Structure 1
Amino acid sequence: MTDLPAAFDRQMPPSQSAQINGIGMTWYEAGPKDAPAIVLCHGFPETAFSWRWQIPALAEAGYRVIVPDQRGYGLTEAPPAVTDYDMAHLTGDLVGLLDHLKIDKAVFCGHDWGGIVVWQMPLMHPDRCAGIIGLNTPFMRRYPIDPIELFRKTFGPDMYIVWFQTPDEPEAVLGADVEKTMRFFMRKPAAVRDAGEAPKEGGSSFAFGQALAHYDPANDPNQFLSDEDMAVFVALFQRSGFRGGVNWYRNFSRNWQASADLPTRIDGLPCLMIMAEKDAVLSPAMADGMEEVISDLEKVLVTGSGHWTQQEKPEAVNGFIIDWMRRRFPA
């Protein structure tokens, strides 16, 4: 049991914790210990709770499901240094978790930032990967220039990833009213799309910091989470704050520099790309051309879903993952 809202304990397996890769990590597990393992990796601003609909479905399908609160999120420790959140640490956490659980290889499934991490796993730790599933997040080729410079030129200085490079301010703004922040992000597709558009008078697109300042959550018709599930997210981020999550973004340039010598293809590894029709942040078009650099790839589309796909359309996501797992990794 936790001190979080009752909906958390009702929907999640018991938490487990250990020292992993130098931090105290918490994760949740279900399904047979001797079954093929699948590790579900969340994005921003989310936690392992985002996978509450997938955990029982995958366990009932016969798989060992492992869902960490990743570094800086939920009940997992948030180290203070920005450099503690680079890709070497983020992928190292997953390797360390497998080591702790005495698992040789796993299928890694990631959404949003978790997707960026799991697509790096076969480049950095190929011997620990049985397969990869990208949810909304495609495998992206290495940027030709520093990505922060590219985002600034393309989307403007107030684009949220560029803004997140500012020391201290973003986490203070996001944390000033956690419920308002979570209600702003966790909205239906049209609302997220509208929040990402540049103002008519000009300015940055995806300027979520500015949009949040003008957002009124009272009677917002675009909420898709139940009040009790929203209360869980609010409680988790009131506990952790946003600094850890924002620090992932502060390593974009560092990760880009460190990736110069990594492989540029994924060969011989089963991969699944699940796209979301109405995602304004990670559109299906961003997955175009993945076939050119991944030798064993399937692509499927979740219709009607925005960015928060495993929560907006859990049955469709569960169906695609379980169908692919049964064909590629029979339980």
Structure 2
Amino acid sequence: MINNTRPTFYILLGLTDDANWQIVLFLFLFITYIFSILGNLIIITLTLLDSHLKTPMYFFLRNFSLLEIAMTSTCIPRFLFSLATKDNTITYNTCATQLFLYIVFGAAEFFLLAAMSFDLYVAICKPLPYATIMSSKVCSRLVFSSCLSALLEVFPGFNMGLQLDFCAGSVIDHFVCDYGPVLQLSCTDTKHIELFCFTLALVTILVTLMLVFISYIRIIGTILKFSTAQKRKRAFSTCSSHMIVLVIAYGSCIYVYVKPNAQERMDLNKGVAVLTVQLPPLLNPFIYTLRNKQGKQAFIDNKKKNGFFPIKYIPLSAKKNNENS
């Protein structure tokens, strides 16, 4: 008889069994995770405090940084804990929560990237009514719609997954509870849910990519009509940071996830998956700040004014002198 009871915990195999490589992996992921969190927090703080960055572009960037922090924090800390303690077990509820958040945050990033493309299109192609079109209310609605669309897309497939029977063991050949490896443990026929999830993922990528493509076609057409080479160079420089993030996001997702069969996903290099989760949040601050003159200047100004972080430090002695005076 087949025992269709749901397991109370799973075992995540991780990336390697070699103890030496686990130490190297832990140090690499720990350092890159700290830098990615600090980098994105600096972007969020700068966009909140600097008056020059109170624009729709940086409003979207702040929310994108929040998603990047949420995305990497869903996976990496739990994996670091496993590497440090050698405890690879994860409860069913924790695994389900991690899987849900991991996919929701990833889907929300694609919708938000499409909204950022629309913002660039309005900024370059319709500069005069830009402030009216991209009002704070419109920007907030676009961000809210991106998150809501991600939830509505992911929830049906996730709910279908909760109804499956699991009787093929409790070992997940991955470092995170991703839906491909989890489906391999089900003794129920998963063809329908795999096709459903694949279709939703494909539709999401195609729809958002089409919106991005239409925006950039019009952006490029407008830029080529600019009278001077300096204006064209400045406009292309504004778009270049967003284009780099687009290539990384869509390229990695298509490579890892857009496959119709779960077994094929299981055969992919798990190292590519962990880099996909960790490197984009790490590169995001460098791409958007160091390659953007306005963001770079805001960082330099706040560094000179308040120190390394854009938070002013008041020495204890100065506080006492102020209180005495």
What is the TM-score normalised by the length of structure 1?
Answer: 0.28
Greater RCO structure (CA 8 Å; 6+ sep): 2
Higher share in strand: 1
What is the TM-score normalised by the length of structure 2?
Answer: 0.28
